[in-house]
Homo-oligomer: A and B are copies of this chain.
């Protein structure tokens, strides 16, 4: 009886948490469960420690894809199925949760409004939310099933029906959820030139990374003009980022013998396409990431930081955040009274949000890089790359993660978790819900 009482009180307390705190707690619980499962004898082939299992579980639930052991070699089929399920939960779980959390955070929090998140949630009808979640699940499973069928044509000829089918399913799930986990230790390098790999995999992770809000809006709208501001910014921003990344990658690496140099023209074009889309934030690679020039690594890190869309399976500060940052800067220098985009205005509270999100993101990356560089004597750039990859839940690696010691790996795990649960969510989680009651006289500071 006492036991049940404790359990009820725990459950009670869990339910009473604000959505961000609930989300973080759920993720943590699933990560621990996943680690426990992955460290069981039937899940791995023997060489996986509890730390490795915890790292793998964190990487899977946060859909990052950084690894310290080989997914294909060190885990049994059961272990791989567990990883796929963790990825599915991590990707869709957040997508689903994002609808709850962001509809609460994104809409109603204006400066000067006193509110507690749960009050907002109660205002939305539960029926609507359940419908939304159902739509999310249908979209995800349809995309993954379609992707898996197409990928059969890639993997079955190489690996036979049994293994080929599992490869197709695993990679489709991993791709749609922007997880970046592969079964081959070389990621997708062995199939770098295959047209379907360069088409199906990116299509899956781009669609998964646009975000549910965008997909629903495109489904509902008949033409460009009907689309919401958010959708327009996302589509426009994604196309720009892809084109810039594609062109820059090709230009910088064209003659690098370790990346594009040895490929023919078609190979150069497709490989740079793939390398331009994967940092936001799929994490697969068809060339050796560690061999890129420093300038290319820097560009890739920027793309990883920006990431994909809100309410999506992608990480990063999000395309909309980056664009509002730029719009706000331009507006300030133009002494404009408001931010405008596609004939819609954005309030100043969006600027506050963008600023807060950017500051928290920079702080997380900085502190993590600081800690990792104290405890590990690796090349600074590869460490920075690894931390940014973890924060953006990207999973691309220049090779440092495997070499890190326990402290370094623990730091990467924390960063993956924060990167996934979201800096904004973290902030709400940590913050006290206070409202200024005293109005102070106006002060002035000189800046810049």
Residue among B302, B345, B383 making CB contact with A366, cutoff 8 Å: B302
Closest chain B residue to A422, Cβ basis: B448
Give the Cβ gap from A70 to chain B, nearest Cβ, in Å: 28
C-alpha gap A325/B310 in the complex (Å)? 23
**A348 to chain B: which residues have CB within 8 Å?**
111, 348, 351-352
Q: Is there contact, CB below 8 Å, between A328 and B352?
A: yes
- Interface: A431 (CB within 8 A): yes
- Once the chains are docked, how many angstroms separate the CA of A336 from the CA of B332? 22
> Contact: A445 with B229, CB < 8 Å?
yes
B333–A427 CB distance below 8 A: yes
A354 with B353, Cβ < 8 A, contacts A374-B293, A380-B380, A441-B345 known:
no
* B-side contacts of A354, CB under 8 Å: 355, 447
Tell whether A445 pairs with B324 under 8 Å between CB atoms, given A335-B111, A439-B345.
Answer: yes
Contact A337 B111 (CB under 8 A): yes
Contact B443 A424 (CB under 8 A): no
Q: Is there contact, CB below 8 Å, between A333 and B430?
A: yes
B-chain residues with CB within 8 Å of residue A47 when the two chains form the complex: none
Q: Is A222 an interface residue (CB 8 A)?
A: no
Bound complex: CA A338 to CA B425 (Å): 21
Contact B434 A335 (CB under 8 A): yes
Q: Give the number of copies in the complex.
A: 2
- Contact present for A443 and B342 (CB under 8 Å): yes
A298 and B445 form a contact (CB under 8 A): no
| CB-defined contacts of A425 to chain B, threshold 8 Å | 448
Given A436-B337, A440-B345, the answer on whether A324 and B447 have CB atoms closer than 8 Å is yes
Assess whether A115 is interfacial by the CB under 8 Å rule: yes
- B447 in contact with A321 (CB, 8 Å): yes
Query: How many angstroms between the C-alpha atoms of A439 and B432 in the bound complex?
Result: 35
Q: In whole angstroms, how far apart are the Cα atoms of A311 and B443 in the complex?
A: 17
Q: Which residue of B lies closest to A439 (CB)?
A: B345
A317 at the interface (CB under 8 A from B): yes
Is the beta-carbon distance between B351 and A351 smaller than 8 angstroms?
yes
Q: For A112, list chain B residues within 8 Å (CB).
A: 337
Closest residue on chain B to residue A331 by CB atoms: B352
Assembly CA distance A351 to B360 (angstroms): 15
Say yes or no: A435 contacts B320, CB within 8 Å: no
Known A-B contacts A325-B359, A370-B295, A436-B336; the reply to A353 vs B229 at CB < 8 A is no
Q: Which residues of A contact B (CB under 8 A)?
A: 102, 106-107, 109, 111-115, 211, 213, 228-230, 233, 252, 293-295, 297-299, 302, 309-311, 317-318, 320-321, 324-326, 328-329, 331-338, 340-348, 350-360, 366, 369-370, 373-374, 379-381, 383-384, 422-425, 427-428, 430-436, 438-448
Q: Would you mind naming 7 contact pairs between A and B with Cβ atoms under 8 Å apart?
A: A328-B356, A332-B352, A334-B433, A338-B436, A348-B352, A350-B445, A353-B448
Q: Which 8 A-B pairs have the closest CB atoms?
A: A344-B443, A229-B443, A310-B446, A112-B337, A333-B431, A424-B448, A380-B381, A332-B356
